[in-house]
Structure 1
């Protein structure tokens, strides 16, 4: 029987693993080759002989060891937590160790439903790790190079099922930092920290010990650069603080001697908006963050004033990675106009049926005037005058009044799309892209009048005239710059006014109904995890865009790209995003971003 927790082989009649002691759920035949990446060698296997390590050289970077070690722990222990949870179930207990006034928390704590997906995604992590090998950029490389720490031997044996990092208010000018890693082997974790301490003391740092509320605390004695780090084990976690005060606050919260973040109303409100099926999450309290940073001029940021908290969660789907986000609003600090401008309206998403399926990028939305409303509603007093001036200049250049000649008919959907165009963006062949704009017209006659006014004004400015032209059976008005060989045009296709940066772009729009993006298999797969009721989509064909620019590269650039970039972007097929529409009384904004991955990454 094969233990899914540590990888050890047990007798078929065993109920518990002889190596790690965890229950054996069902008989499993071990694979011919264990599926663990090299960095995840099961702790039960016999250690391989390794050549003796050279004696560590005297390090001269240690005057700032406190901050460096805290950063290394964030990176190193975080990676360990991810690695160990590849085959385990995480918890969500770190928030019980953080003071309630902590303005920021990052937690990696996958739930049961995420475990299988994490197993499938080992190939991706393996590819990223292989690309970074030898660069010194991996957390394990940093631990080994700077602290003479062997990741596999010194960290993996004790690292548990959750990792978290939090900013904490210590009453000082600079905020503190707390890093907490769940511990499954207390003695191994203590041995690890003793090894770190011995190395730092060998380089001239001094440590002392104390007992605080019954907890043994080890702390770096203050030096010329100020307070040093402090660490302790309690409540099943190894907690490292950037200062002794920061660690004391964590002990207080854990023992009920002060308010704790997990019971804070603001924290709970944000977390309630996020999906429970997640690998980890991020929490930010804007109010407390501004209180900790008095230099921040909140009165000049109306939007930030109205945001009470921000949350984001990461989840692994069967075909990619989904990021959900939420903004919890303080409705008492926002005007009715601001609240109305923030609420996403529900789109019928007809614009994605009016663009061709080979677009490289598209961003669609509902109600064009809403963009201007959002800008105007959240401008600071100093920026309002310049914004009004910019609107006036735009109206003068177009020869129209936005309210009377555009917004009165452009009250439906709109979209901006990029397509491949060998002629280049505005004639620049080094950027082989074409631009297409679609605006749904609720009143065609009003739309014709508005577009004609713009055309007349452009003719007066440039000296060239718009010509009537038929493209793919649709009537367009086009204008050509004879010196730059650039053709612009507009016309009506279905219910949309379409504007293209070239004849190719106009032709693509005219023929879009035959092969629309809305029916594209990759697009449909990419938007499936997004909110069904939304205000529009953002979609990026990553594979197509990478292929386009790869074809423009020289042989040397291609070699560099294949070595340095493709390992990171090669598995990404598409990226999509949508904001969830909500009612006027809703005090939270939500949305999702999804990264569609190549199925080879799941094999």
Structure 2
């Protein structure tokens, strides 16, 4: 039965009632309840169908450290974001986080997104379902570490500024709901003496209670606890979980081109992606793991052979990506892109465009012999005042081939194609080593191809950079201090790396790339980051790992103490 409470009634009295009354009653009934260890505490009551769940540390020292990252503008922007979130969740509802929440809350709080139940069902796309896409409920789970303190602090009088409250009961748990606030309505409940739960939707509250009573929780997701163990870190700032099947289904419904059911079924074989985020001395470290469902037909190929290619990449490289097997990378991307409505590159379009331009099959004639280590890098060209260079950087592809004869045949065929397109194709020498060069009929654009070893081919496009890799670079990227500080080294052997020197790539004073001017609200975040590094590895036929490090700049001057608002989660 729902009972309306007068608009001016103090909201917090109701919350305290939940703690004292229904909370204690539930506590005695569930005193023997045990929660799974090794997972965020809130994961025990968040439903398994949650699309995203983020567990945040409540340690004030961690939040203070976060506020010290970046440039002065990015710090100010971050503080405004945190302050706005704090106002919406706490201040606007009469609470002060430090005074009213922090003294009793546990070591972490969880924020989760629950999609509408009709979207999770196996029903086909319907107009009724489409109208509910944006009706995702936000859930906040506050573990109660000190019930006595929680009752004391939440009992202090506070008046709800707008709207009214109603009280009802569901499965023995009392629920208070705010109504009439144009900014946000909330549903609040206390589960035993374990959790204070706040949601933006009454139905979401009931789903949380169902989970607390025994329905499948996020903590019981197949592979979740075991996967978290593989990325376990000390005192993470945040732990993030993405439900890949649910997220893909929602993305498909939102896309103007929904994913075909056949391709959607492929993605459903994936289970989840989990990440631990740690605040380190020079930036933010992320340890991630993705895993397949236990009964999935899909399996990963365990192949971690991407170490040798790094020795061939020049020290001054701005962007690079490497991997163990280019052919397999393309095959995996093609299968994944078919079920990804936001894939940045359509493989079918690229394949058909390549065939239209060359008369050759991309997969059969080219990628088929690229079965070894590879790297794709952006390298600054050496300044040459006498050359009429239109490009100040060159793109470099190096790949270990699995079939030299097939490679020679395909490359020779490409030479003929370029001749027919009026390119000047000729033999050339790069540091006394034979190579083939294509020069566009309009000048400026140049392609150089050759061999570094009998089984290692190279192709450069754009600026003249071949002399920096033939026969080997004068200095390797592994000797670059920034690369060393950025690339995570924990996964060895590994399946590949990614590195970008953001500071140089986006520096307007270094004309390496002709990039468009970024909007101010994006530029301030880019300006705060120096570099990003990624290392990947295939751990088993159903588990893959990703370590990421974001190296963040430090401002030369901090915000004045009086202008720095206290950072709170």
Q: Structure 1 length as normaliser, TM-score?
A: 0.66
1:252–1:581 CA distance, 2 compared to 1 (3 A): closer
Q: Cα distance, 1:162 vs. partner?
A: 1.6
Q: Cα distance, 1:444 vs. partner?
A: 4.9
1:302–1:507 CA distance, 2 compared to 1 (3 A): farther
Alpha-carbon separation, structure 1, partners of 2:214 and 2:293: 29
Which one has a larger percent helix, Structure 1 or Structure 2? 1
Structure having greater relative contact order (Cα 8 Å, sep ≥ 6): 2
Q: Match for 2:435 among 444, 452, 476?
A: 476
Q: Cα distance, 1:240 vs. partner?
A: 0.8
Q: Cα distance, 1:160 vs. partner?
A: 4.9
Q: Cα distance, 1:539 vs. partner?
A: 0.9
Match of 1:326?
A: 289
1:546–1:191 CA distance, 2 compared to 1 (3 A): farther
1:141–1:275 CA distance, 2 compared to 1 (3 A): closer
Alpha-carbon separation, structure 2, partners of 1:491 and 1:455: 12
Alpha-carbon separation, structure 2, partners of 1:309 and 1:344: 19
Match of 1:304?
A: 267
1:240–1:512 CA distance, 2 compared to 1 (3 A): same
Number of positions where the alignment pairs a residue of Structure 1 with one of Structure 2: 484
Q: Match for 1:198 among 143, 160, 176?
A: 160
Name the SS for the 2:424 alignment partner. Answer: coil
Judge which range, 208-217 or 128-137, deviates more.
Answer: 128-137
Match of 1:574?
A: 531
1:324–1:456 CA distance, 2 compared to 1 (3 A): same
Match of 2:301?
A: 343
Name the SS for the 2:208 alignment partner. Answer: helix
Are the aligned partners of 1:281 and 1:311 in contact in 2 as well (CA < 8 Å)?
yes
Q: Match for 1:186 among 150, 174, 186?
A: 150
Match of 1:21?
A: none
Alpha-carbon separation, structure 2, partners of 1:290 and 1:504: 42
Q: Cα distance, 1:284 vs. partner?
A: 3.2
Match of 1:363?
A: 321
Are the aligned partners of 2:248 and 2:267 in contact in 1 as well (CA < 8 Å)?
no
1:171–1:303 CA distance, 2 compared to 1 (3 A): closer
Q: Is 1:177 aligned to residue 138 of structure 2?
A: yes
Q: Is 1:485 aligned to residue 444 of structure 2?
A: yes
Are the aligned partners of 1:106 and 1:165 in contact in 2 as well (CA < 8 Å)?
yes
Q: Cα distance, 1:348 vs. partner?
A: 3.9
Q: Match for 1:434 among 381, 394, 415?
A: 394
1:401–1:250 CA distance, 2 compared to 1 (3 A): closer
Q: Map Cα deviations across residues 416-446 of structure 1 (whole Å, 9 max, x no partner).
A: 111234899xx995x7432111122455565
What 5-or-longer segments of structure 1 have no aligned partner? 1-61, 63-89
Q: Cα distance, 1:263 vs. partner?
A: 3.8
What 5-or-longer segments of structure 2 have no aligned partner? 1-6, 8-37, 119-131, 559-569
Match of 1:124?
A: 69
Q: Map Cα deviations across residues 342-383 of structure 1 (whole Å, 9 max, x no partner).
A: 4352124222211211010011122222134225545759x9
Alpha-carbon separation, structure 2, partners of 1:521 and 1:293: 40
1:141–1:265 CA distance, 2 compared to 1 (3 A): closer
Q: Structure 2 length as normaliser, TM-score?
A: 0.70
Q: Map Cα deviations across residues 475-532 of structure 1 (whole Å, 9 max, x no partner).
A: 2222323524322222223453222224532222227532011222322332234421
Match of 1:166?
A: 112
Match of 1:79?
A: none
Match of 1:105?
A: 53
TM alignment of 1:398-547, pairs within 5 A: 398=358, 400=360, 405-407=365-367, 409-421=369-381, 432-442=392-402, 444=404, 446-462=406-422, 464-494=423-453, 495-502=455-462, 504-510=464-470, 512-547=472-507
Are the aligned partners of 1:578 and 1:591 in contact in 2 as well (CA < 8 Å)?
yes
Alpha-carbon separation, structure 2, partners of 1:180 and 1:503: 54
Are the aligned partners of 1:360 and 1:420 in contact in 2 as well (CA < 8 Å)?
yes
Alpha-carbon separation, structure 1, partners of 2:401 and 2:116: 57
1:432–1:131 CA distance, 2 compared to 1 (3 A): farther
Q: Cα distance, 1:587 vs. partner?
A: 1.7
Are the aligned partners of 2:283 and 2:550 in contact in 1 as well (CA < 8 Å)?
yes
